[in-house]
Each structure stands twice: as C-alpha cells, then as structure tokens.
Amino acid sequence: MANSSNFQAVKDRVFADLGLYEQVSGLYDGQWLAGEGRPRVPVYSPINGERLAEVALAGEEDYDRMVERAWVSFEEWSRVPAPKRGKVVRAIGDRLRAYVESLGLLVTLEVGKTPVEGRGEVQEMIDIADFAVGLSRQLYGMTIASERQSHRLYEQWHPHGVVGVITAFNFPCAVWSWNAFIAAVIGNVVVWKPSPDSALTAIATTNIVNDVLDEHGLPPLFFLAVDEAGEIGRRMSSDRRLPLLSFTGSVQTGREVAANVGERLGRSILELGGNNAAIVTPDADMEIALRGVAFGALATAAQRCTTTRRLILHDSLIDSFLPRLIDAYQNVRVGSPLEPGVLVGPLINRKAVDNYSNAIVRAESTGGQVLVGNSVLELPGAEGGNYVAPTLIEGLAPDSEIVCEETFAPILYVLRYSSLEEAFEIHNCVPQGLSSAIFSNNLREVEAFLSVVGSDCGLANVNTGTAGAEIGGAFGGEKETGGGRESGSDAWKAYARRQTVTVNYGAELPLAQGVTFDVR
Ligand code: NAD
C-alpha cells in the first residue's frame, strides 16, 4: 500500500521539479498573487488523505482585474499572425515534454490516477499542442460563388477575445489544453477556473506555460483563478466580458452554467456527464470484449466521463461472459496508484465514496443484485484514502432511476437483451449521450449500431471500449451531455467567430435576389 515514506518522497520530488510549495497562490493574472489576506483551502491527496498544500483563493475583485488584463493581452496576441501563434504553442508543447514525469505524478498525487494515466494526461496536452500548431496554418475560410457580378463572397474566422474555461477534477490539465491551445492559435486569451480538487495541477500547468510566454517576450495568455465552491465559476457564467465559456463538469452544474450564459446570450461549449454503455453481442471476439469492457468500466476508478456504466449483454452470454467479468472484478488490484500492479486507484473524495454507497443502496432497494463488490475499503498503509470495491449489479430495469443517473464511481449495471433492436432501445433510453461501444464482428450488427437507429451518442466505438478517445476527433456528446465538441476535427470553429464577407469590386450596385431599389 501507499507507504508514507514513498508517498512523501514522490511528493518532495514532484514539488521540487514543479516549483510548488506547501502554500501556493491560486491566482495568476500575469503574476502570481500573494496569498496574504486571501482565504486558503487545503488540497488533500485521495491516496491517503494527506494534505498536499494550501491554496490561496481568488476573490471577485481579483477576478475582475484578471479579466481586464486578459483583454489587454488580447489586443497584442490577436494581432500576431496565426502561424506565429502556432510557433509559441509549439514551444509550450516542447516545454511540457520535459514535465511528463513530474506533472503526471502530480496528477497521481492529487486526483489518484495511476502514473501511466497521469503521464497520459500530460501526453494529451502535448498531442493537442501539436495539433494546434498544424491548425495554426489551416484556419481556412470558405470562398462562395456570389450570385452577383463582380462580387466576392467568403468567410473568415476571428478570435472571440477572452475565453473562459471551467474544468472538472477528473481531467485536471488535458481538458484545459484541448480548449486553451486551440483557442490560443486562433488568437484568443484564456481564463481558467479549475476544480478545487485539482488546483495544484492547474497551478503547476499555468506556471509551465506562462514561463514559455515570458521567454518569448509575450504578454500572459493563460490566466488562472482557483475558487472553493464555484464562486468564480458562477461569476464567469454571467460575465459578459467572456463571449465564450467552455464548461466541463456534471449535468447538474452544467444546467446552471448554461442558464446563466444563455441569459446573457453568450456562447457556451458544454461537456457534461455521460452514462455510457457497451453492447456485447454473441458475434464479439470475447477476449477483446472482456478487456474493452474492463478497461472502460474500471480505468481511472470509473471517474472518466466516458466510463462504461452499463453493460448490455446478450442473453446467450450470461453464463460465459459474465463469470469472466466477475472474475476480473474480483482480481483487479485496488489501492494506492503509487504501488506497482494497481489498476484502480481511489475516488476523489469522501463525498464520492458516499455517492457510491448510496447508489448501491438505491439499486438494491429497486431490485438490483450485487454480483461482486459493494464495499468501502480501508487499506493498510493508505488509511485516509477513498477506496471502494468495483461493483457489478444485475437485475435492474434499464430505465430505472439509478441506472439513468451517472454515479461517478466504479459501478457497472449489467442489462440483458435478446434482439439487437432491444439492445439499441436499452442503450438510448438514458438522458445522457456521450460515448458508446459495440463489440461484434458481425457487419450487420456493427453498421446498424452506427446507423441512425443505433447509438445516439457523440462517440460511437466498434470493438474498442467507451473510454480513451484520441485528440484527433471532435470530442463531446448529445442530449444532456450538452452537445459541445472540443479537441480535434473542426471543433476549433467554436473558438472563433465566423464573419461572412461580401466585396463588390464592380462599378454597379446589384442587389441580391434581383431586388431593385433605384433612388435616382
Ligand atoms: P462538477 O460539476 O462538480 O464541477 C465542475 C466544475 O464546475 C468545477 O470546476 C467546479 O468548481 C465548477 N463549479 C461548481 N459549481 C459551479 C457553478 N455554480 N457555476 C460554475 N462552475 C461551477 O464536476 P466534477 O465532479 O468536477 O467532475 C465530474 C463530472 O464532470 C462528471 O459528471 C463527468 O462526466 C463530467 N465530465 C465531463 C467531461 C466531458 O467531456 N463530457 C469530461 C470530464 C468530466
């Protein structure tokens, strides 16, 4: 288990490499604000409950000043040619390469991901930086055939200005970079409000990227304000100075954010909760299906928005596939992510543990049978940690209340089906629509899943699980997941305002649709 000297040694190494201290500032507005006179919050490690540091919080006045400064930076940054902005993002990506290990381990200490997943989080930032560099030379606008003689009609894309980014704890830096690097090559400046549960990762990341800007003689472009309970987040939602707000978090919080942004007729990108399912058919490769479902349901202790929360299993597989999955659940190693061989780390905090326990009570009270799991674990050497046993539950109606909710904990509901139509009906009956998967080698089943009567989600995977998206595709989901798209493909367009331009280079003034208006 997390023996405390190992934990302390890792912490010391990581803090030294990243320039973190026991007391850190949670507000960067071009410089790190002194903590004096500002409230502080402790950040605890979910691995063993140890206090990692204390963060000084940003107040409303700090925030206001920060947004003003961000607009000043925008004046300068938006005038830099896009390919040159790309070069700066390339330098940031290069700098991040030097911090894969230490920043990745900070993610482990602060949110409990395994080190390989922590490194993956930083790798994702590097990947999106590479993508953004390429994009900086490809911000294409379309030329359209004009119906009028001697007229040119085309589209161009301008930055919005200062873009707000609010992130969830579970992707403490990667999701910010999806937004920030794409927004930056377009010419925007970014104000980030991270989750207080992952404030240290946000602080360390902000430090690294702004150092690069300093070295290039550029103004600050990546601002940061840590709050405690969404105070700054609320302020950002209603702040007319942020034409675009990108929000990642739960459906519940997203609903409030969307209402506040909508009230001021601002734009939002909403990346909200999922309730993702994997369908396993009799024509699946069972080895691939087993690994795909296990990874999807268990990785990151089921704290991914794309975690597999529902397994839709054909009746004929109940006696073959299910016992193997139960076996995997019984044998997967739960514990401190700093220990070798551990695949399932802790939940983020005690509230998440309570949510796990309450969900199981509710499931059992409505007819669910626990096949494996259902216990809060006290692990020797990691006593203050938030560990739970991965749980499989069978016997619930697919549309029962608890199955339709996203419980951010390792609980997988097993739902049976007999026909493919029934599998799709079960699949689509939840309010969320983020990720989906089918395991099948049957072309007809696969294509039906990908057709309009199949998955209703933003992401549809075949013979690979619901979790683990690449940055090249546009990421996001439908229905209560909010409809936002981030990361690759043409998701960049959300960070730009489209301008349709008409130029008359002729000697006449012809009007569209043949309208005449002769004032002579
Ligand atoms: P959360 O909704 O509790 O918090 C998200 C962010 O909102 C945090 O920064 C929080 O401080 C802030 N916040 C809280 N109250 C606010 C308010 N009133 N106004 C504005 N901001 C406020 O979510 P969480 O527990 O940090 O993260 C888990 C959730 O995020 C899950 O539902 C998960 O599915 C979702 N998520 C979605 C995606 C996606 O891309 N779709 C990615 C990661 C996480």
248 Cα–ligand 1 center, Å? 5
**Residue 394 in contact with ligand 1 by CB distance below 6 A:** no
Q: Whose alpha carbon is nearest atom 9 of ligand 1? A: 195
Per residue, what are the HEC states of 20-77?
CCCEEECEECCCECCCCCCCEEEEECCCCCCEEEEEECCCHHHHHHHHHHHHHHHHHH
**Residue 274 in contact with ligand 1 by CB distance below 6 A:** yes
Specify whether the CB–CB gap between 157 and 496 falls below 8 A: yes
Rounded mean pLDDT, 438-465: 98
pLDDT of residue 2 exceeding 60, the answer is no
Q: Which of 171, 248, 272 to mutate to test the pocket of ligand 1 (most atoms within 8 A of CB)?
A: 248
DSSP assignment, residue 466?
Answer: S
Q: Which of 63, 170, 307, 351 to mutate to test the pocket of ligand 1 (most atoms within 8 A of CB)?
A: 170
Q: Is 117 helix (H, G, I), strand (E, B) or coil?
A: helix
**Residue 300 in contact with ligand 1 by CB distance below 6 A:** no
pLDDT of residue 4 exceeding 80, the answer is no
CA nearest to 324, candidates 277, 366, 385, 372? 372
Q: Write the pLDDT tens digit of every residue in 246-287.
A: 999 999 999 999 999 999 999 999 999 999 999 999 999 999
pLDDT of residue 35 exceeding 90, the answer is no
Q: Is 280 helix (H, G, I), strand (E, B) or coil?
A: strand
288 Cβ contact list (under 8 Å, min separation 6): 439, 463, 464
Q: Which atom of ligand 1 is nearest to the CA of 234?
A: 19
Which tokens belong to 275? 């309730």
Q: Which atom of ligand 1 is nearest to the CA of 167?
A: 9
CA nearest to 43, candidates 266, 255, 198? 198
Say if residue 514 is exposed, middle or buried (CB neighbours under 10 Å; 0-12, 13-18, 19+): exposed
Question: 0.95 cut: is pTM over it?
Answer: yes
310 Cα–ligand 1 center, Å? 21
Residue 221's identity, in one-letter code, is L
**Residue 168 in contact with ligand 1 by CB distance below 6 A:** yes
**Residue 45 in contact with ligand 1 by CB distance below 6 A:** no
Q: Write the pLDDT tens digit of every residue in 204-245.
A: 999 999 999 999 999 999 999 999 999 999 999 999 999 999
Positions marked active-site: 271, 305
Chain-wide mean pLDDT for the chain? 97
pLDDT of residue 1 exceeding 60, the answer is no
201 Cα–ligand 1 center, Å? 16
Rounded mean pLDDT, 375-383: 93
pLDDT band at 34 (very low <50, low <70, confident <90, very high): confident
Q: Write the pLDDT tens digit of every residue in 349-368.
A: 999 999 999 999 999 999 99
Cα distance between residue 242 and residue 162, in whole Å: 6
Specify whether the CB–CB gap between 477 and 468 falls below 8 A: no
Q: Is the dihedral of CA 445, 298, 171, 274 positive or negative?
A: positive
Rg of the chain over Cα atoms, rounded to whole angstroms, equals: 25
Q: Comparing 134-138, 324-328, 406-410, 515-519, which segment has the lowest mean pLDDT? A: 515-519
168 Cα–ligand 1 center, Å? 4
**Residue 410 in contact with ligand 1 by CB distance below 6 A:** no
pLDDT of residue 381: 85
**Residue 239 in contact with ligand 1 by CB distance below 6 A:** no
pLDDT of residue 520 exceeding 80, the answer is no
Query: Phi/psi of residue 193, each to 5°?
Result: -115, 105
Q: Which atom of ligand 1 is nearest to the CA of 168?
A: 26
Q: What percent of the chain has pLDDT over 70?
A: 99
CA nearest to 67, candidates 226, 246, 224? 224
pLDDT of residue 3: 67
**Residue 176 in contact with ligand 1 by CB distance below 6 A:** no
Q: Which of 63, 111, 128, 166 to mutate to test the pocket of ligand 1 (most atoms within 8 A of CB)?
A: 166
Specify whether the CB–CB gap between 152 and 461 falls below 8 A: no
Cα distance between residue 507 and residue 437, in whole Å: 59
Specify whether the CB–CB gap between 77 and 85 falls below 8 A: yes
Residues pairing with 23 in the sheet: 54
